[in-house]
Chains A and B, each alone.
Chain A
Amino acid sequence: MHRALRELGLLLLLAAVPALVAARWHPRRPGLATADVPSLSVTAAQSLAANQPVLWIDARREPDFAHAHIPGALQLNEDAWETLLPAVVAVWRPGQTVIVYCDTQSCNASREVAARLQRELPMKPVYVLEGGWAAWQRAPARTH
């Protein structure tokens, strides 16, 4: 058993090397630098939206967006970035706050989209909605 464990340790180390290379150089690597994107709670986001125009971005997939979304939200995700981005850019005004959301707290799509908006356009300020669509639905005093 000791030898099996030693071999397992070696395999874990061997697999880590290409994984780290992929994290740095793979053309379809996930955005790892998304921790810099600030987040807002649903309450804070609602307060912000009550005082200034906010551009809501829905980073979920098409069926989820079609089923229901935050009123006024535009869809934008990595799967259809080039197709959906023009509509977002057309609506966005410089300095306008952008809040991106996906399904839940554990989904990563909103952070990916928010990081890409900051990096490529650049849009600022951009926030991620804490808890995503699930938290928005649970919030008692959401605006419509």
Chain B
Amino acid sequence: MATRTRENPLIAAGRWLLAAIFASAGALKAWDPAATVQSLAHYHLLPAGLATWGGLYVPWLELAGAAALLTRGLRRGGWLLATLLSACFLVFTGSALLRGLDIDCGCFGTGPGVGHLPAMAALDAAMLLVSVLGLRAGIFGIRRSKS
């Protein structure tokens, strides 16, 4: 029989922090999908059609991930989604830095000075680390508690 284990306070803090970041970033991007699509296109990694659908879909994935991280029944899926999103964001920002692109990240909407690329790449890396730790604790922690 599965016993509920107490969540590590650091993991819990990371979960709330990730949820807040995804919720704010998702809401700002969902507010202006056209600008989000343009931001995505500036990375020159996706064909135009895919960038359009990506700009429409990703903000809602972020919002769904944020909600899932705060919902007990969907928390593991939330960790997994947060891991995948953070990894994708890191690939985009990291590749833009490596290619020397002078673009705004577009991570928290658009506007002058919004989304300085190196800072956002560092944030993406930190989010990925927290997500992986949370995913590991969420899945393997529960598996251990079952045995």
A interface with B by C-beta (< 8 Å): 1, 3-12, 14-16, 18-19, 22-23, 26, 28-30, 32, 34-35, 78, 103-109, 111-112
B interface with A by C-beta (< 8 Å): 30-35, 37-38, 41-42, 44-49, 51-53, 55-57, 59-61, 63-65, 68, 73-74, 76-81, 84, 135, 138-139
Find out whether the CB atom of A30 lies under 8 angstroms from the CB atom of B49: no
Find out whether the CB atom of A7 lies under 8 angstroms from the CB atom of B76: yes
A35: B residues at CB distance < 8 A:
49
CA distance A109 to B76 in the complex (A): 38
A18: B residues at CB distance < 8 A:
30, 60, 63
Find out whether the CB atom of B60 lies under 8 angstroms from the CB atom of A19: yes
Residue from A6, A8, A16, A78 whose CB has the most chain B CB atoms within 10 Å = A8
Q: Is the interface of B mostly helix, strand, loop or mixed?
A: helix
Find out whether the CB atom of B60 lies under 8 angstroms from the CB atom of A15: yes
CA distance A7 to B45 in the complex (A): 28
B53: A residues at CB distance < 8 A:
19, 23
Which 5 pairs across A and B sit closest by C-beta, in order of nearness? A7-B77, A4-B76, A15-B60, A15-B64, A30-B37
Find out whether the CB atom of A8 lies under 8 angstroms from the CB atom of B77: yes
Find out whether the CB atom of A19 lies under 8 angstroms from the CB atom of B48: no
Taking A8-B77, A106-B44, A108-B41 as contacts, is the C-beta distance between A28 and B60 under 8 angstroms? no
Q: Which of B34, B52, B57, B80 contacts A4 (CB 8 A)?
A: B80
Find out whether the CB atom of A4 lies under 8 angstroms from the CB atom of B139: yes
A19: B residues at CB distance < 8 A:
53, 56-57, 59-60
Taking A104-B44, A106-B46 as contacts, is the C-beta distance between A3 and B57 under 8 angstroms? no
B80: A residues at CB distance < 8 A:
4-5, 7-8
